[in-house]
Chains A and B, each alone.
Chain A
Amino acid sequence: MTPVIPALDPLPLPAPLWLLWALLMLTFTLHVLAMNLVLGGSVVAAVSVWKARRGDPNHKELSRLVGKSMPVAISATVTLGVAALLFLQALYGRVFFTSSALMAWWWFAVVPLVIVAYYSAYAVAFHTRGSSALPYAIAAIFLAIAFVYTNNMTLMVRPEAFREMYATSGRGLTLHLADRMLLPRFLHMVAGAIAIGGLGVVALALLRRAGTADFRMWASRYGSRWFAHATIVNVAVGVWLLGSLPVDTLLQLIGRNAVASAVLAAGILSAGATVAAILAAARSGRPGRMFAVGIGAGLATLALMILTRDFMRRTLLAAAGFEPARWIAPQWGPIAIFGVLLIVAVLLTAWMVATLVRAPAPGSVGSEVLEP
């Protein structure tokens, strides 16, 4: 069908496109990092809770640790996601509002789902009960939210599907399940989140002074395995995702567009380097430095893949006739104020967090810290 894209807003865009784009990339990358820790962490925690049923002390400790970190990670995900959503709306509001309205109930459902999962995460953090089914529910809810998000983010780059979907129903109950990109994109994102969740376990084991040295060693190796396995699976899923793209977009990514192809290739190489570093660290007696290299390479992979994702979106939308705003009237005063306040916010937050982390823990770092 012919793509249908709403008209440009008759008001000017209050910032240059590059600035909004840069802020979108920055905040979205940070959001995805936190989101991956939440989604991947919740899956890893649910598996550990399952394995701890038979009394495995390492899994029990790991699920406790991940459970305790979950509320902070969710909070970071939401906070960073708000900024990414803002800049997304500024740049792509026309297709984003449209796709959201077409699947309105599903999109709206994200709000109560996050509330339920968030409160459940606090319940787990405060009362670590081995028999609780909450960790499974949390993982299931976050997977469901991820599926809704993948639907909307995929649908918004498919303006050619809008008209038919709306003709079928305007009630906002339909999803665009027939999209070839949907399933591989969802699986690619989930596998990536699990991989980063595995890295999160490694970081947690290295950074937290909790548990014995044996546990920390076990946890860092266990997290490494999650990372490596999920990443290897993701190579296959990534190929599937590439194959599901329209031919022109695919060709751009594998040679026709030099920059996009280089970014994708760098991302793949970076993923390989991350796996190698993490596996080497897991086998090493003193893994700290190698893990740090692996985590750094993992973050670079994430950023490169997000750039590739952005390229795919711009290419698909351009093919559908989407044109960015042309009337731009930058509000430099408010932009400068935002810039200054952003620096102040980061410094203030860093000071507060550093003060808390450096402060002596009262007795042991246990539930009493989390339960004032």
Chain B
Amino acid sequence: MNYPIWELPASGLLIAVVAVVHVFVAHFAVGGGLFLVLTERKARREGDAALLAFVRTHSRFFALLTLVFGAITGVGIWFTIGLVHPSATSALINTFVWAWAIEWTFFFVEIAAAMVYFYGWDRLTPATHMTVGWIYFWAAWLSLAVINGVLSFMLTPGLWLTTGGFWDGVLNPGYLPSVVARTCGAVGLAGVYALLTASRSGDPVLREKVARYAVLRWIAPMAVLLPASVVWSLHAASAAGVPVREIFGSATGGWLSIVTGIVGGSATGQPIAQLAARVLLAACAGGLVLCGIVLARGRAYGPWLASTVMLSAFLALGAAEWVREDLRKPFVIGNYMFVNSVRLADLRTIDSDGVLKTALWTRLPGDLDARPAETAMPEKGREVFRLECSTCHTIDGHLAIRPLVQGVAPGALDAMLGRLAAPAADQVWEDTQLRLRTWRGRRMPPFAGTRDERRALAVYLAGLGGAPPEAAARYGAEGDVGERFFNENCSMCHGADGDFTFDAKGRSADTLYEMIGRLPRINDAMPPLEASGAERRALAEHLATLHGTARKGGSE
């Protein structure tokens, strides 16, 4: 709200793409350094000239990939998060500028050591060359260890929320399992890249030797340890208050329960996070099978098979990052800032003053105040959508909103917007141990703004979904009688958060009109309806929209 929104459809996806690509190279930059120096030592100890020549060739590929692509895509993440999440970036800079400065000293040494190692093959003594290799590896790993502090902080900020302390932020509850998981990924990737380089060698003996070495010492152990450490991370996140159980539909936050939830599936979890976790497990298992094939084929394996192993590694690492990102929703910084840059601490102000007033960078037509309500309302709604929803949702593309609101009445949308994320029953937004209640498991930020702005957004969304302009305008001007009646009289039991959430199950407004005339006969716990004819009709029409409010013709 404090910065202009870059109107890039689904801008969050851009971060995901840049980050996943960078992560795949950056982890290799860490593990690959260890691989180079250990394999160089092995080759020198064994007097294996062919292996030493391989390490040298591999170091060239390593340098070209990590120094250029790895380093620049890393800067690319900086650029991208600054463009897409400037408020979050600003918060991170104010908290962790010294973490990044410390990381930069490691980065500095890492780049210099990589170049000296690369250019020093013929010029340095073996001992000095390997010393430079070790300097490279430790600088690279320490760089990972520092950045991991910031990344894990964003999911589990822990004590920082109360103390604001640097070390509380860096050494957050998710730090240790996360740094282990990243190290496992880095070591495993080193083997995968080596396998790919070796697969192109014309020397079959070397190819087999590197394959056995890479698979047995580097890839296979990490294909087991990576998913295990990810599950450890999930366990730690659960203990730190991230709703891991709800997301994976597991019975408890324990290790076994999380794995069972992921593998066995659950009707209550988050499909995308579950899918990503399953892809992680499947890619690691598939990678192990492929490694077995590589070993079985011995000298006969080639670039295609090695590329398939690499693809499985890419899927595993990408999925692990996706799980982390998905767990964080609806926050960009856990319990501090939502993905749409609204800080939890600002919610009350925005609710009272309005998002259109508090946002610094609105793009409303200049003559809006002079326009009649029926045209002004959707315009306001469009702007509210842009400010609060467009970071994740597009109209018709990624996470498209139109199919979700197709044919839904403005009143139903308005009610739905009021039921997005909320603090747990016994909590308030300011609670540092905040637990979120979500509407049907949809982990979206709460609507932030005045009642009028929410109505305007509902009118805009209903218009997107094909609602007649006059109906939307009438709702915008007067509100929906049926919906209001429902909210005031029925929603405590039958609302989205009630014990008996109402589902019209396809019944028509006429049928519902008849039914609500005999409520005590349907269930003697219900009082008889006390409403005028017009109110009863309006309520029936509203109830009819509550079957699958998210989707036209939704499931029964």
Q: Are A97 and B86 in contact (CB under 8 A)?
A: yes
Q: Kindly list chain A residues whose C-beta atoms are within 8 Å of the C-beta of B79.
A: 100, 107-108, 110-111
Q: Are A111 and B72 in contact (CB under 8 A)?
A: yes
Contact of A115 among B69, B83, B109, B124 (CB under 8 A): B69
Which one, B97-105, B394-402, B430-438, is touching chain A?
A: B97-105
B58 to chain A, nearest CB (A): 10
- A10 to B333 Cα, complex, angstroms: 14
Q: Are A10 and B343 in contact (CB under 8 A)?
A: yes
Q: Are A166 and B363 in contact (CB under 8 A)?
A: yes
- A contact face: mostly helix, strand, loop, or mixed: helix
Given A107-B79, A334-B102, A338-B98, A101 contacting B109 (CB threshold 8 A):
no
What are the interface flags for A142-177 relative to B under an 8 Å C-beta threshold, 1 for contact and 0 otherwise?
A: 000000000000000000001000110111100000
Q: Kindly list chain B residues whose C-beta atoms are within 8 Å of the C-beta of A296.
A: none
Q: List 19 A-B contacts (CB under 8 A).
A: A7-B2, A12-B164, A14-B95, A72-B115, A75-B115, A79-B111, A89-B93, A98-B4, A101-B4, A101-B6, A107-B83, A108-B76, A170-B363, A172-B83, A349-B109, A349-B112, A352-B116, A372-B56, A372-B59
Q: Are B102 and A341 in contact (CB under 8 A)?
A: yes
- A231 to B71 Cα, complex, angstroms: 33
Contact of B98 among A9, A14, A98 (CB under 8 A): A14
Instruction: Give residues in A with beta carbon < 8 Å to B.
Output: 4, 6-7, 9-15, 20, 23, 71-72, 75, 78-79, 81-83, 85-87, 89-90, 93-94, 96-98, 100-102, 104, 107-108, 110-111, 114-115, 118-119, 122, 162, 166-167, 169-172, 329, 331, 333-335, 337-338, 341-342, 344-345, 348-349, 352-353, 355-356, 359-362, 368-372
- A332 to B86 Cα, complex, angstroms: 26
Chain A, Cβ-Cβ closest to B80? A108
Q: Are A11 and B95 in contact (CB under 8 A)?
A: yes
Q: Kindly list chain B residues whose C-beta atoms are within 8 Å of the C-beta of A11.
A: 91, 94-95, 164
- A12 to B165 Cα, complex, angstroms: 11
Contact of A355 among B76, B107, B116 (CB under 8 A): B116
Chain B, Cβ-Cβ closest to A110? B79
B471 to chain A, nearest CB (A): 30
What are the interface flags for B351-378 relative to A under an 8 Å C-beta threshold, 1 for contact and 0 otherwise?
A: 0000000001101000000000000000
Which one, B60-68, B403-411, B452-460, B499-507, is touching chain A?
A: B60-68
B105 to chain A, nearest CB (A): 4
- A140 to B251 Cα, complex, angstroms: 60
Q: Kindly list chain A residues whose C-beta atoms are within 8 Å of the C-beta of B95.
A: 11, 14
- A20 to B98 Cα, complex, angstroms: 10
- A354 to B116 Cα, complex, angstroms: 10
- A96 to B67 Cα, complex, angstroms: 27
- B contact face: mostly helix, strand, loop, or mixed: helix
Contact of B122 among A81, A338, A353, A362 (CB under 8 A): A362
Q: Does B304 contact A (CB under 8 A)?
A: no
A6 to chain B, nearest CB (A): 4
Q: Kindly list chain B residues whose C-beta atoms are within 8 Å of the C-beta of A371.
A: 60
A275 to chain B, nearest CB (A): 33
Q: Are A86 and B90 in contact (CB under 8 A)?
A: no
Q: Are B112 and A172 in contact (CB under 8 A)?
A: no
Q: Are A79 and B128 in contact (CB under 8 A)?
A: no
Q: Are B360 and A335 in contact (CB under 8 A)?
A: no
A101 to chain B, nearest CB (A): 5
- A337 to B167 Cα, complex, angstroms: 13
Q: Are A93 and B93 in contact (CB under 8 A)?
A: yes
Q: Kindly list chain A residues whose C-beta atoms are within 8 Å of the C-beta of B94.
A: 9, 11-14, 90
- A314 to B7 Cα, complex, angstroms: 30
Q: Are B3 and A171 in contact (CB under 8 A)?
A: no
Q: Are B124 and A356 in contact (CB under 8 A)?
A: yes
Q: Kindly list chain B residues whose C-beta atoms are within 8 Å of the C-beta of A89.
A: 82, 89-90, 93
Contact of A372 among B7, B80, B109, B118 (CB under 8 A): B118
Chain B, Cβ-Cβ closest to A345? B105
B69 to chain A, nearest CB (A): 6
Q: Kindly list chain B residues whose C-beta atoms are within 8 Å of the C-beta of A71.
A: 67
Q: Are B68 and A352 in contact (CB under 8 A)?
A: no
Q: Are A97 and B99 in contact (CB under 8 A)?
A: no
Q: Are A90 and B93 in contact (CB under 8 A)?
A: yes
Contact of A83 among B2, B56, B82, B104 (CB under 8 A): B104
Given A11-B164, A104-B83, A338 contacting B105 (CB threshold 8 A):
yes
Q: Kindly list chain A residues whose C-beta atoms are within 8 Å of the C-beta of B111.
A: 75, 79
Q: Kindly list chain B residues whose C-beta atoms are within 8 Å of the C-beta of A355.
A: 116, 120, 124, 128, 132
Q: Kindly list chain B residues whose C-beta atoms are within 8 Å of the C-beta of A72.
A: 115
Q: Are B82 and A341 in contact (CB under 8 A)?
A: no
A233 to chain B, nearest CB (A): 32
Apart from the given pairs A98-B4, A170-B5, A352-B116, 18 other A-B contacts in the complex at a CB distance below 8 Å: A7-B2, A7-B360, A11-B94, A14-B95, A75-B71, A83-B108, A86-B93, A86-B100, A89-B82, A97-B83, A97-B86, A101-B4, A101-B86, A114-B75, A169-B7, A170-B363, A341-B102, A359-B123
